[in-house]
């Protein structure tokens, strides 16, 4: 029984660590996208939009799925 509890605690810790890392990465993507938008170059705005929609939104979906576990 102790072993099962330890495994669950280890899995919970790994999940919390993954969620924290994904949250950090999402924040970095949002900041990079905002910086690109501020530069206001032709491609910068497109890249910023792609980062926000494809990367940040995808990470947000994964975070939400992991939190439901």
Over range 35-39, report the average pLDDT. Answer: 89
Q: Exposure of 36 by Cβ count < 10 A (0-12 exposed, 13-18 middle, 19+ buried)?
A: buried
Q: In whole numbers, what is the pLDDT of the chain averaged over residues?
A: 88
Q: What is the chain's percent helix, strand, coil content, to nearest 5?
A: 95, 0, 5
pLDDT digits (tens, 9 = 90+) for 38-56: 888 888 888 988 898 999 9
pLDDT on residue 7: 67
């Amino acid at each position: 029984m102790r072993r099962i509890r330890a495994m669950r605690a280890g899995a919970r810790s790994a999940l919390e660590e993954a969620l924290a890392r994904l949250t950090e990465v999402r924040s970095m993507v949002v900041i990079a996208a905002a910086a690109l938008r501020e530069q206001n170059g032709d491609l910068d705005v497109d890249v910023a939009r792609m980062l926000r929609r494809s990367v940040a939104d995808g990470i947000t979906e994964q975070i939400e799925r992991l939190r439901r576990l």
